């Protein structure tokens, strides 16, 4: 397990800053070498063109053709030399590797007794428990309950979701029926219920209605801004590049993490009744 501390993060950002300085230096070298090569190539081309013109005027066509070849070879050598120097400037650049974050700092750490008990339950018992958890989450956060749907969810890229909240064509919170044996389903139901709260709060409200689904008008406007397409698609072209950093996903992971971190075995037993 990797230690995740403020000090480690500070060191990681310090290495990133150092790498950025080296990168900036490489670009300066590249600009200088490119500019120098351009100037030298321009001077040679202009000088040799003057000689070429005199050769043409005196009908020395063979000499003119040889001059063209020699000039071209000379310019290519200068270009190659500049490219090699630019390549050398960038060759040693390397960003620090990704900071490894323990899974429990992302998804939370479920009490081992809860996880063990979860694996002993039947799927029907798990479904009832997840529904009770979803109801509690909604009640505690001030938005409407929703009946969970249990069915298989297709694989996406290199992972298979344990659940998802969908608004269209109708509001639905699906839990993956093939993953009910995984104790992380407890984290997932809180994560997806947080999404329900986010979208309920961002929904339309009456002009006189300041709060909706536990979210103020100001909070709702901020969430709408954070959920615009130009924000949702940041991070890269691949699904796992842009999906996890989305603000709504960061909020969902926080909710799931807090839900499991604050649940002890006595709390869990209440859902067994």
| pLDDT confidence band for 241 (50 / 70 / 90) | confident
Q: At what angle do helices 185-202 and 217-226 cross, to 10 degrees?
A: 110
Q: Is the pLDDT of residue 110 over 90?
A: yes
Question: Half-sphere exposure of 119 toward its Cβ, with a 13 Å CA cutoff?
Answer: 7
Q: Is the pLDDT of residue 255 over 70?
A: yes
Q: Tell me, what's the pLDDT at 234? A: 72
Q: Which of 6-10, 82-86, 90-94, 181-185 is predicted with the least confidence, judged by mean pLDDT?
A: 6-10
Q: Tell me, what's the pLDDT at 96? A: 62
Q: Tell me, what's the pLDDT at 94? A: 66
Higher pLDDT, 86 or 256: 256
Q: Tell me, what's the pLDDT at 183? A: 96
Q: Which of 19-23, 199-203, 231-235, 256-260 is predicted with the least confidence, judged by mean pLDDT?
A: 231-235
Identify whether the C-beta of residue 264 lies closer than 8 Å to the C-beta of residue 109.
no
Q: Is the pLDDT of residue 133 over 60?
A: yes
Q: Is the pLDDT of residue 190 over 90?
A: yes
Instruction: Report how far apart, in Å, the C-alpha atoms of 207 and of each of 204, 216, 217 are.
Output: 9, 12, 10
Q: Tell me, what's the pLDDT at 207? A: 87
CA dihedral 245, 114, 127, 249 (to 10 degrees): -10
pTM assigned to the model: 0.63
Burial of 223 from C-beta contacts in 10 A (0-12 / 13-18 / 19+):
middle
Q: What is the mean pLDDT of residues 167-189?
A: 94
| pLDDT confidence band for 131 (50 / 70 / 90) | very high
Instruction: Supply 225's token pair.
Output: 């801004």
Identify whether the C-beta of residue 272 lies closer than 8 Å to the C-beta of residue 129.
yes
1-39 residue pLDDT tens: 333 444 555 666 677 677 777 788 878 888 898 899 899
Q: Tell me, what's the pLDDT at 5? A: 44
Closest CA to 183 of 129, 139, 140: 129
Q: Tell me, what's the pLDDT at 4? A: 43
Higher pLDDT, 268 or 7: 268
Q: Tell me, what's the pLDDT at 2? A: 37
Distance CA 218, CA 226 (A): 13
Closest CA to 180 of 247, 146, 131: 131
Instruction: Please report, rounded to a whole number, the percentage of residues in the chain having pLDDT higher than 90.
Output: 42
Average pLDDT of every residue of the chain? 86
């Amino acid at each position: 397990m990797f230690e995740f501390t403020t000090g480690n993060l500070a060191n990681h950002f310090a290495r990133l800053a150092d790498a950025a300085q080296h990168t900036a230096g490489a670009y300066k070298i590249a600009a200088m070498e490119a500019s120098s090569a351009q100037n030298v190539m321009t001077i040679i081309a202009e000088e040799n063109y003057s000689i070429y013109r005199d050769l043409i005027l005196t009908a020395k066509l063979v000499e003119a053709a040889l001059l063209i070849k020699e000039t071209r070879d000379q310019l290519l050598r200068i270009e190659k030399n500049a490219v090699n120097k630019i390549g050398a400037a960038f060759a040693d650049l390397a960003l620090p590797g990704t900071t490894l974050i323990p899974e429990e700092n992302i998804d939370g750490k479920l009490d081992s007794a809860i996880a063990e008990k979860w694996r002993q339950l039947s799927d029907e018992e798990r479904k009832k428990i997840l529904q009770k958890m979803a109801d509690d989450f909604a009640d505690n956060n001030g938005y409407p309950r929703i009946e969970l749907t249990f069915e298989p969810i297709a694989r996406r890229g290199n992972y298979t979701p344990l659940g998802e909240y969908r608004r269209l064509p109708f509001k639905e919170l699906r839990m993956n029926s093939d993953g009910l044996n995984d104790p992380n389903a407890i984290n997932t139901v809180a994560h997806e219920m947080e999404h329900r709260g986010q979208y309920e709060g961002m929904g339309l409200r009456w002009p006189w209605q300041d709060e909706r689904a536990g979210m103020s008008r100001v909070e709702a406007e901020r969430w709408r801004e954070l959920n615009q397409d130009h924000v949702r698609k940041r991070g890269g072209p691949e699904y796992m590049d842009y999906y996890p950093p989305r603000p709504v996903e960061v909020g969902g992971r926080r909710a799931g993490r807090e839900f499991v971190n604050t649940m002890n075995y006595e709390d869990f037993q209440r859902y067994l009744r």
